[in-house]
Structure formats: structure tokens, C-alpha cells
Copies of this chain bind each other. A is one copy, B any other.
Amino acid sequence: MRPSGRELNEMRSVSIETDVTKHAEGSCLIRVGDTHVLCTATIEDRVPPFIKGSGLGWVTAEYGMLPRSTTSRMRREATAGKQGGRTVEIQRLIGRSLRAGVDRVALGERQITVDCDVIQADGGTRCASITGGWVALRLAVKKLMKAGDVTTDPLVSPVAAVSCGMYAGQPILDLDYPEDSEAGVDGNFILRGDGRLIEVQMSAEGATFSRAEMDTLVGLAEKGVGELVALQEQVTA
């Protein structure tokens, strides 16, 4: 029934290649089907003004799409002179989600910036960014710990994300672009490896959903995130 022939509760094939750039403290290229996102983590000794002197660390994120990561070319945001509303929403979500897995006291007064740049898009770029962003963050923190700059592991529980939605009346896991553009209801679910929920964003454009459908989608998300967390742990072991 799905255009790709997948089962309702089947994710696309996922791979995470680590250490793909030589400059970043942590990096990976995550591929969720045809959605490819390059994630890098940068450690800096400064923190934003609002926590200066607090002893707490900070994790933030930025998100971008290469102009031809999409079917037809998008205008480059640097040329447009600003980040669009969708970009701003997504990068705030990524940062907030990653922070839910971080012990900011243990991190100490430093900032880690996770950049997620979409090389090729086929639906679910924000979820892939969170899942891959966590891997880059994990690798950067490893360096901090190896160097002795951080002694207690500040990463409490892995963070991963997946989308679920109602497609042709059926609940499905991990929407690709053709599914996403048809789905009336679309949700992003960010969870930790310990099963706790971090963020749920269910949204209907020109449609609505029932509580029962909501429950089913949460269940699918728990399955998908479980698989993603297993992969995250394997590649960062």
C-alpha cells in the first residue's frame, strides 16, 4: 500500500557514517533512505550571555538545506537575506531536543553547536537531523572526556526522532516525501533511549485526528526510535 512497498510499521534503511570531516570535533553523515544529512558538532569555550558564569553548558543547533537538495532548486537562504520560518522552527526544535539528553552541569561552561545540513532531501529531514545530530554530539563529547576536560559523562540518554502520520487512512512509520506530501496528519516524535518523550508535534494541514489515531502513532514512534537508538549506540561504541 505504501508507494515504497514498505510495511506500515517499517522504517527506511538507515545508515550513519561517522567522522566524515576532518575539522569538526564530531561528525556523521546520516542516510535515512534518500534523505542525507551532514551533522557536525563544534565545541567552543564560550557560552551564550544568559548563562555566563553559571557553570552550565549549552547545546544549540543550526539547520540548512543545500539549494539543490530538493526536487526543484530552492533559493539559498544566505541570498534571501534571512532564514525562513520553517528553518528557524526546525533548528530550535533540534537544539531543544538534544538538550533533553544532556546534563548541562556535567558538560561544564562550554557550548556545543550542532550543524545539520541537508545534502539530499526525501522527507523527514528534521528527524534525521536530530538522530544524526546526537551522534555528532556523542563523538564530540567523547573527545572532551578522552582529553579529561569533562569527567562525568554529560550525555544522559540518547535522543532520536522519527515521523509518523496518517496516510490513506492508515497509520505509518517514517514518512518519505511522497507520503509526506499526501498525509493529512503528520507528527514528529522525539524520544530518549529510555523511552521518555521529549517532544511531540502532531499537526494536521486541512485535516484532523482522533485520540485513538494519536495513540497508534505514538506506538509506531516508540518502535522506530528504538531501532534508531540501537544504531546510534552501535556506531558510537
Number of interface residues of A (CB under 8 A): 63
Instruction: Check A232 for interface membership: any CB of B closer than 8 A.
Output: no
Whether A100 lies near B21 (C-beta < 8 A) is no
Whether B78 lies near A87 (C-beta < 8 A) is yes
- Which of A2-10, A61-69, A142-150 sits within the interface? A61-69
Q: Classify the secondary structure of A's interface with B.
A: mixed
Whether B208 lies near A69 (C-beta < 8 A) is no
- How far is A92 from B196 in the complex, measured between Cα atoms in Å? 28
Query: From residue A132, how far is it (CB to closest CB) to chain B in Å?
Result: 14
Known: A196-B210, A199-B204, A200-B214. A78 touches B82 (CB 8 A): yes
B-side contacts of A176, CB under 8 Å: none
Instruction: Check A115 for interface membership: any CB of B closer than 8 A.
Output: yes
B-side contacts of A14, CB under 8 Å: none
Whether A120 lies near B21 (C-beta < 8 A) is yes
Whether A198 lies near B204 (C-beta < 8 A) is yes
Instruction: Check A153 for interface membership: any CB of B closer than 8 A.
Output: no
Whether A201 lies near B198 (C-beta < 8 A) is no
Whether A208 lies near B201 (C-beta < 8 A) is no
- How far is A49 from B115 in the complex, measured between Cα atoms in Å? 27
Known: A81-B81, A201-B200. A23 touches B208 (CB 8 A): no
Convert A1-44 into 0s and 1s, putting 1 for each residue whose CB lies closer than 8 angstroms to a CB of B.
00000000000000000000111100100000010001010101
Known: A42-B68, A79-B83. A73 touches B113 (CB 8 A): yes
Query: From residue A94, how far is it (CB to closest CB) to chain B in Å?
Result: 12
B-side contacts of A121, CB under 8 Å: 23
Query: From residue A129, how far is it (CB to closest CB) to chain B in Å?
Result: 14
Instruction: Check A231 for interface membership: any CB of B closer than 8 A.
Output: no
- How far is A69 from B197 in the complex, measured between Cα atoms in Å? 33
